[in-house]
Every structure is written in structure tokens, then in C-alpha cells.
Amino acid sequence: MKKTYISTRNLQKEINFYQAIVQGIGDDGGLLVPQFDLPVLDLNKLAKMNYVDLATEVISVFVPEEGKELIHEACQHAYGEGLFPEDVVPVKKAGDVFIAELFHGQTAAFKDMALSLLPYLMTLSLKQLNEDRLVMILAATSGDTGKAALEGFKDVEGTCIKVFYPLDGVSAIQQQQMVSQEGKNVKVIGIKGNFDDAQSAVKVAFGDQQLKEVSDQHHVFLSSANSINVGRLIPQIVYYFHSYFELVRKQEIHMGDQINFCVPSGNFGNCLAGWFAKNMGLPVNKFIAASNKNNILTDFFTTGQYDANREFYKTNAPAMDILVSSNLERLVWYMCGKDGNKVRTYMEELKSNGIYKVDDETFAKIKAQFAAGYLTEQQVMQTIKECYEKTGYVLDTHTACGYGVLKQYQEATKDMTRTVVLSTASPYKFPESVYKALFNEDLDVYDAIEKLHEKTGVAIAKPLVGIKDKEVLHKTHIDKTEIIDFIKSEIEAI
Ligand SMILES: *Cc1c(COP(=O)(O)O)cnc(C)c1O
């Protein structure tokens, strides 16, 4: 099988896996997608594997035949050497809901699942391509990608990384995690603007002709650590299989039974990875995409219309404060029969009018597999409290959106299929909100961590221990309009 990648907008030539990782995004501004049909995997065989071997099997599907050994080595480094606990993604139970905890990596959020592996995929791809230019990784972050990418790429040879985060758009802990980042090849920049401003500037940078010329002169090229990179998407497929097998091992389901997944969503990369798993043979009934008050995905999944002409809200689940959900483009591409010309038209409409609507046939396919819902900030707080009182499980604000939306969905549809909610962050990453929800008291962030631990007994996430006293190393703040110029001067400084 020829394992090549093309763009969702149909205007770039086929490239291989290594080129796709290094390039990050399509030449035409589209997202890279496998040109080949996804194979159905043997569940009984996979179920017997540990996480490293499972990851190797799943990820190798996307890599040329001879690359499997390299992928195994990379997965061993990322998941098998103590950065994660033994089982990597523990699956817990809160009442009748299963919770897959994706937050046991280096930064206590789900981005670690892919960003622990991506630097290895990047370096092995550079080697395969005999690339000797320096890679400059650009990442826009709503809080969690930035830190996870910094940890992943710090001091990785042949790379440097620039992370742009919205000032006032990330939690106190997230900001402190990023601005205290060590490493010789890292820079962290605060943006006066929101996440979408940062993300669109970074996307523009990849297509900017002048930046390209400057990069060539300085023997540099730009790549992405955002979830537009297929190297982010592919590692996320693994834990859907893992979670399913955990339920089989715990005898909660029989092999072959269908389950649902409920996924707190922003850029939609997490949920989309689940849909890939389904297409690779995982028995899934529905995916439920959960949002916060920025409910653009809820509207899309209920109407087929993506309308970004709306107010942007800063909420207590900030990693999901997004209006332009990049990975949806990949789903739309699949659902409209891999019609890149159609997708390009939709994306042009989105760009010029802020809105597009998929055709009826495409929408019918989407609706058959996805449900969606959202929680207001107040509902997030109530959900955290109710879940704790009923089950003793402490949810973070993002996972609360998942848990709460699942309850709404079950109420509305009476679909009681066993469901795994993906938990995307440790409650200690958003401790003020979680503490306030549970004990109705406003505390300073660091006091909230201590008191939350004292009162609930839940272990403090390791990466957050001692975070308060870390030195601030990054103090650059720029306007959203200055991002491109900033990147240019960084390239010139090499
Ligand atoms: C990034 C993030 C999300 C959203 O994930 P997407 O893949 O962008 O949909 C949800 N919760 C947390 C805590 C995150 O960091």
C-alpha cells in the first residue's frame, strides 16, 4: 500500500509520512490527511499488548513499512521510560461513567499524549529526509499545547521552538508553567489578543512568501506543533483503543460491544482521533463532542452550519475557548467523500464570511456518528460539585464539560451505552475554579492547590509540585499584529 498524504484542499502533491510531519500543514493552507483507506486492525491481537506495543501497531499504520522499528523506539522513549505511569492512561470510574485520564504526562494535560512523541517523530523524519536545515517549531496555544510542546522540544537537536500564548487567555498555572520553561532552544511570547488571533497568525506565517525567503537564506524552515500536524493526531488514536481494552480487561464490556466516547473539545483533534480509531475497527456507537459557552461545535453538529460570527467568551475552561476549530476540516473532508475542492470552497467561505454550511448529504453522515452539547460556566461549577458529591471523583473544568454534556445527552436520548469520558486535564491545573466549585470559597491559585489536596485527598499532579517558586524566564509581550515580524526577526537572528 502506498502510504501518502494529501491536503484537504486538494492543491498539493502527495508526500510521505516523514514529509507530512516535517511540513506540518498543506502548501495550500489545508490540513494533511492520509490518501489511503484506514485498515481495520485485529482487536484481539491488540488487546494483549502493553501501551508501547499498542502505540507502535496503531501508529505504524501511517508510516512506510520499513519505519516500524523506528516508531517502536520512539514510543518506548515517549511512553515507556517513566514520563507516564505504568498504564499510561488510567481508566477510572465515577458512578456509572468511565473516565480515561489523559493527564499523567509532563504538563498534567492531555496534550502530553501526542507532544511527548512528536519530537521523536520529528527528529526521525528529519533524518529520513536528510534534512540539515534547522526546524523552527511555531506553536499557538490556548494554554496546554504550549507547555507540552516546550517540554517535548526543549534541547532537541536540530530544532528550536517559539510558543505564542494569549495574555489573559490562559490560567495562572498554565502561564507560570510556560514562562518558567528552561531549555536553550525555547522562547515563550505573550500575545495581546486571543487564541484565535495567535493561531491564525501562525497559520499565515506558514504561507508567507517573505518569511519563506528569509528562512531559505538562513537555512531554516518552519513547522508546526499544533494539532494541525498529523503527528499530533496519530498518537491520539492509541488511547481510544487502550481505553476500550481497559473496559474489556475490567470485564465491564465484552470484546466487540459498542461504547460511546464523550470528548471535551476545542480544536477537535482529540475527538477526531477517536473517529480514526473507529474507522480502524474500534466498536464505537457515538462520539459526543462537549464544549463550553463557546458552543460553535454544538451548533455545527446540530445544524451543519459553522458560524464563527459570534462573540468570543473567556471561560473557566480556557483550553476550549476557541472559535476556529481547525481539525473539523479533516472530518468535513472525509464526510463529503474526500472532495478537496468542496472543502476548499467551504474554507474560503469561512475565511471571507466567517460561515459555511455543509450540504445535506454530508451533514446526515456527520449526524449519524456525532452528538454534541455544551455547558455554561455556572453549569461547569455545578457539575464539578455534583460529581464529587455523588461519586467522590474530582473533575477539572474541561472534563466537567464532558461529564455534564454526557448527562444531558443521556437524559435527552435515553442512550445508555457505556461511555468513556476523556479527562483532558488534572483538576490541579485549574485549582481556583475547582476549589470554588466544591467548597464555595475564592482562594489564590497556590492556596487552592494545597487546600484542594487537603480536603479531597487527590494527589497533586507531579509537574505542579513546586511550580510557584520557579523563576520567570520569559517576559516578551507583543501585539497580535506583530507576530509575523517577530518570527522574521527570530529567523534573522539565527
Ligand atoms: C486542548 C485541550 C482541549 C481541547 O482538545 P482539542 O483536541 O483541541 O479538541 C480540551 N481540554 C484541555 C484541558 C485541553 O488542553
> How many other CB atoms are found less than 10 A from the CB of residue 403?
28
Distance, CA 408 to ligand 1 centroid (Å)? 20
Mean pLDDT score of the chain, rounded to an integer? 95
Helix axis angle, 230-249 to 51-60, nearest 10°: 130
Q: What does the pLDDT read at residue 142? A: 81
For ligand 1, mutation pick of 31, 102, 110, 230 (most atoms within 8 Å of CB): 110
Distance, CA 270 to ligand 1 centroid (Å)? 7
pTM value is: 0.94
Residue 194 scores a pLDDT above 90: no
Residue 390 scores a pLDDT above 80: yes
Distance, CA 266 to ligand 1 centroid (Å)? 5
Q: What is the pLDDT of residues 242-256, one digit of tens each?
A: 999 999 999 999 999
Indicate which residue's Cα is closest to atom 1 of ligand 1. Answer: 319
Q: What does the pLDDT read at residue 204? A: 86
Ligand 1 atom closest to the CA of 425, numbered from 1: 13
Distance, CA 227 to ligand 1 centroid (Å)? 10
For ligand 1, mutation pick of 270, 276, 375 (most atoms within 8 Å of CB): 270
Helix axis angle, 68-79 to 118-128, nearest 10°: 150
Ligand 1 atom closest to the CA of 272, numbered from 1: 7
Ligand 1 atom closest to the CA of 265, numbered from 1: 9
DSSP string covering 34-98: ESSPPPPP-HHHHTTS-HHHHHHHHHHTTS-GGGHHHHHHHHHHHHSSSSS-TTSS-EEEETTEE
Residue 1 scores a pLDDT above 80: no
Cell numbers 476557541 correspond to: 322
Residue 492 scores a pLDDT above 90: yes
Cell numbers 477539572 correspond to: 396
Distance, CA 199 to ligand 1 centroid (Å)? 14
What is each CA distance from 314 to 318, 322, 330, 431, in whole angstroms? 6, 9, 26, 17
Measured CA to CA, the distance from residue 68 to residue 66 in angstroms comes to 6
For ligand 1, mutation pick of 320, 326, 331, 380 (most atoms within 8 Å of CB): 320
For ligand 1, mutation pick of 145, 398, 426, 464 (most atoms within 8 Å of CB): 398
Measured CA to CA, the distance from residue 61 to residue 39 in angstroms comes to 8
Helix (H) or strand (E) holding 266: none
Q: What does the pLDDT read at residue 267? A: 93
**Which is more confident, 310 or 204?**
310
Indicate which residue's Cα is closest to atom 8 of ligand 1. Answer: 267
Closest CA to 102 of 345, 396, 337: 396
Distance, CA 263 to ligand 1 centroid (Å)? 9
Ligand 1 atom closest to the CA of 143, numbered from 1: 15
- What are 267-271's contacts with CB under 8 Å, separation 24+? 267/226, 267/227, 267/322, 267/325, 267/326, 267/327, 268/297, 268/325, 268/326, 268/327, 268/328, 268/331, 269/227, 269/232, 269/233, 269/236, 269/326, 269/327, 270/110, 270/236, 270/422, 270/424, 271/327, 271/370
Measured CA to CA, the distance from residue 29 to residue 291 in angstroms comes to 26
Q: What is the pLDDT of residues 133-145, one digit of tens each?
A: 999 999 999 888 9
Categorize the per-residue pLDDT at 463 as very low, low, confident or very high, splitting at 50, 70 and 90.
very high
Distance, CA 264 to ligand 1 centroid (Å)? 7
Residue in 2, 93, 111, 436 annotated catalytic: 111
Q: What does the pLDDT read at residue 169? A: 84
Q: What is the pLDDT of residues 99-133, one digit of tens each?
A: 999 999 999 999 999 999 999 999 999 999 999 99
For ligand 1, mutation pick of 141, 267, 298 (most atoms within 8 Å of CB): 267
Ligand 1 atom closest to the CA of 398, numbered from 1: 11
Spell out which residues line ligand 1, taking CB within 6 angstroms.
109-111, 144, 227, 264-270, 319-320, 398, 424-425
Q: What is the pLDDT of residues 431-448, one digit of tens each?
A: 999 999 999 999 999 999
Coil/strand/helix, residue 440: coil
CA atoms within 13 A on the CB side of 465: 6
Categorize the per-residue pLDDT at 207 as very low, low, confident or very high, splitting at 50, 70 and 90.
confident
Q: What does the pLDDT read at residue 200? A: 86
Categorize the per-residue pLDDT at 316 as very low, low, confident or very high, splitting at 50, 70 and 90.
very high
Q: What is the pLDDT of residues 349-381, one digit of tens each?
A: 999 999 999 999 999 999 999 999 999 999 999
Q: What is the pLDDT of residues 225-238, one digit of tens each?
A: 888 899 999 999 99
Distance, CA 210 to ligand 1 centroid (Å)? 32
Q: How much is the average pLDDT of 5-20?
A: 95
Q: 423: which strand partners?
A: 101
What is the share, in percent, of the chain residues with pLDDT greater than 70?
100
Write phi, then psi, for 115 (nearest 5 degrees): -80, -10
Q: Is there a catalytic annotation at residue 111?
A: yes
Q: What does the pLDDT read at residue 199? A: 85
Write phi, then psi, for 217 (nearest 5 degrees): -60, -35
Q: How much is the average pLDDT of 409-426?
A: 98
Q: What does the pLDDT read at residue 184? A: 96
Q: 134: which strand partners?
A: 220
Residue 195 scores a pLDDT above 90: no
> How many other CB atoms are found less than 10 A from the CB of residue 213?
10
Q: Do residues 117 and 232 lie in contact, with contact meaning Cβ atoms separated by under 8 Å?
A: no
> How many other CB atoms are found less than 10 A from the CB of residue 284?
20
Distance, CA 331 to ligand 1 centroid (Å)? 17
DSSP string covering 312-325: ----SSGGG--S--
Residue 16 scores a pLDDT above 80: yes
Which cell goes with 207? 504561507
Ligand 1 atom closest to the CA of 266, numbered from 1: 9
Which cell goes with 435? 476549589
Ligand 1 atom closest to the CA of 236, numbered from 1: 7
